[in-house]
């Protein structure tokens, strides 16, 4: 079949999205390192609840609209502007309502104490801005502006570090401003690109298809549950490990788990470019998956190998305890990420098809296993946790491979 889309652009978009996601993760980690160096520990502690709160609220209230627009935007054609109006409205309304509800609870009131007198309004503003900022990544991708995602994330990361250094003397307020100021500026810049691109698309293309109510429910319902499961696996498992195993193993596991999360986010960014292309031309799914899969192997395969080989030297940067407790565990979870790449490919294809149930099943499987593993395994070391992660990835990947094969046979 003759190619009707720029497949090279799909790969370039995937690289841009992966690089942007990776840089955001690195910048976030570096920001906390700088905070610990420049700001008293007590001040850093004051911002922890605030930061965790707005990250949680902004993530939960998006109801998986971000992944959904990757499917909907390519099909909307000249009605992209209308689609974006109501999706942005839902994201912003959810973030606003969620932040107000959070502030009504003791945890929210505690978070607001980070900035006496201004904590509550600042929390609402930052939550709203962060929700929009995260939503703009898939929007820009769906509008074929993946390069803008990379520029936005680079600007945000560099801006956060700059504000943090300049405002370090303000203590907790300085840390929070290092989130708020770059976030708001990045949102404003990205909004200009979104508005311009959507208007051009509306003028250039014929009116396309908007999702029906049943399609919205069938896609968002399962994928929202999947996103909650992913959040629980990546954010709740470390808390369980710390509570059961103790603070030292917990700190080591947090570093190991953060590394896996960062690679997962980067690989997901690459797969998002595949979602857009398959949503545009579902009949070419087989060809596009082969291309995306080969590039994922080329980009992330060496990264996994290098990570396994250098696991202990890398952990030695943090201290000898990290090497002793986490060396083997980091090797195992990185090996487990190889089958995870296949799972992400399958998730991307079914997401492009608008089939929420397979997406939810593949994503929830990890949480369904890792949470009991973390809660019930003996506390003798971190290796059993890593073995659990590797085992579940292999099992889910086997099922994903069969499901993906059946789907691609339809497209052949």
Confidence of residue 2 (pLDDT cuts 50, 70, 90): very low
Residue 181 has pLDDT above 90, yes or no: yes
Residue 192 has pLDDT above 80, yes or no: yes
Residues 143-169 have a mean pLDDT of 88
Q: What distance in Å separates the CA atoms of residue 368 and residue 365, rounded to the nearest whole number?
A: 5
Secondary structure of the chain in the HEC alphabet?
CCCCCCHHHHHHHHHHHHHHHHHHHHHHHHHHHHHHHHCCHHHHHHHHHHHHHHHHHHHHCCCCHHHHHHHHHHHHECCHHHHHHHHHHHHHHHHHHHHHHHHHCHHHHHHHCCCCCCHHHHHHHHHHHHHHHHHHHHHHHHCCCHHHHHHHHHHHHHHHHHHHHHCHHHCHHHHHHHHHHHHHHHHHHHHHHHHHHHHHHHHHCCECCCCCHHHHHHHHHHHHHHHHHHHHHHHHHHHHHHHHHCHHHHHHHHHHHHHHHHHHHHHHHHHHHHHHHHHHCHHHHHHHHHHHHHHHHHHHHHHHHHHHHCHHHHHCCCCHHHHHHHHHHHHHHHHHHHHHHHHHHHHHHHHHHCCHHHHHHHHHHHHHHHHHHHHHCCCCCCHHHHHHHHHHHHHHHHHHHHHHHHHHHHHC
Residue 7 has pLDDT above 70, yes or no: no
Specify the pLDDT at position 393.
92
Specify the pLDDT at position 36.
66
Specify the pLDDT at position 131.
93
**CB–CB of 141/10 below 8 Å?**
no
Summarised one tens digit per residue, pLDDT across range 11-70 is 888 888 888 877 777 777 777 667 767 767 666 666 767 877 888 788 888 888 888 898
Residue 4 has pLDDT above 60, yes or no: no
Summarised one tens digit per residue, pLDDT across range 268-291 is 888 988 888 888 888 888 888 998
Q: What distance in Å separates the CA atoms of residue 76 and residue 206, rounded to the nearest whole number?
A: 9
Residue 412 has pLDDT above 60, yes or no: no
* CB-count burial class (<10 Å; 0-12, 13-18, 19+) for 8: exposed
Q: Give the CA distances from residue 231 to residues 54, 228, 336, 363, in Å, rounded to whole numbers and listed in that order.
A: 14, 5, 18, 10
Specify the pLDDT at position 314.
82
How open is the CA angle 398-234-341, to the nearest 5 degrees?
Answer: 30
Summarised one tens digit per residue, pLDDT across range 82-117 is 999 999 999 999 999 999 998 998 878 877 877 777
Residues 231-237 have a mean pLDDT of 75
Find the radius of gyration of the CA atoms of the chain: 21
Summarised one tens digit per residue, pLDDT across range 335-376 is 999 999 999 999 999 988 888 899 889 888 877 888 888 888
Specify the pLDDT at position 93.
95
Mean pLDDT lowest for which of 83-87, 263-267, 293-297? 263-267
Residue with tokens 């839902």: 90
Average pLDDT, the chain: 85
Residue 255 has pLDDT above 80, yes or no: no
Residue 3 has pLDDT above 60, yes or no: no
């Amino acid at each position: 079949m003759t190619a009707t889309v720029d497949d090279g652009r799909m790969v370039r978009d995937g690289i841009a999205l992966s690089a942007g996601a990776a840089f955001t993760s690195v910048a976030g980690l570096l920001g906390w390192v700088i905070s610990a160096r420049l700001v008293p520990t007590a001040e850093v502690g004051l911002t922890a609840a605030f930061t965790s709160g707005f990250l949680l609220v902004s993530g939960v209230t998006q109801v998986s609209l971000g992944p959904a627009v990757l499917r909907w935007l390519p099909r909307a054609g000249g009605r992209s502007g209308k689609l974006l109006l109501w999706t942005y409205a839902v994201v912003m309304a959810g973030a606003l309502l969620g932040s107000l509800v959070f502030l009504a609870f003791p945890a929210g009131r505690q978070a607001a104490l980070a900035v006496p007198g201004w904590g509550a309004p600042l929390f609402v503003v930052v939550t709203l801005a962060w929700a929009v900022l995260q939503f703009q990544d898939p929007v820009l991708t769906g509008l074929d502006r993946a390069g803008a995602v990379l520029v936005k994330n680079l600007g945000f990361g560099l801006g956060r570090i700059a504000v943090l250094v300049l405002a370090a003397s303000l203590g907790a307020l300085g840390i929070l401003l290092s989130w708020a100021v770059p976030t708001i500026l990045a949102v404003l810049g990205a909004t200009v690109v979104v508005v311009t691109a959507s208007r051009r698309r509306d003028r250039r293309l014929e009116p396309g298809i908007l999702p029906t109510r049943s399609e919205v429910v069938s896609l968002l319902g399962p994928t929202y549950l999947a996103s909650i499961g992913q959040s629980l696996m990546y954010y709740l498992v470390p808390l369980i490990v710390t509570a059961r195993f103790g603070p030292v193993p917990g700190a080591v596991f947090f570093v190991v788990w953060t590394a896996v999360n960062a690679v997962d986010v980067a690989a997901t960014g690459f797969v998002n470019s595949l979602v857009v292309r398959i949503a545009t031309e579902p009949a070419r799914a087989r060809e596009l998956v082969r291309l995306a899969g080969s590039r994922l192997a080329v980009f992330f395969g060496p990264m996994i190998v290098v990570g396994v080989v250098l696991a202990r030297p890398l952990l030695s940067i943090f201290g000898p305890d990290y090497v002793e407790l986490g060396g083997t565990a980091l090797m195992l979870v990185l090996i487990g990420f190889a089958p995870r790449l296949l799972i992400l490919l399958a998730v991307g294809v079914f997401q492009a098809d608008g089939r929420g149930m397979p997406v939810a099943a593949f994503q929830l499987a990890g949480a369904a296993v890792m949470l009991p593993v973390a809660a019930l395994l003996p506390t003798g070391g971190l290796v059993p946790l890593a073995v659990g992660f590797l085992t579940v990835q292999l099992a889910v990947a086997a099922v994903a491979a069969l499901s993906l094969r059946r789907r691609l046979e339809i497209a052949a």
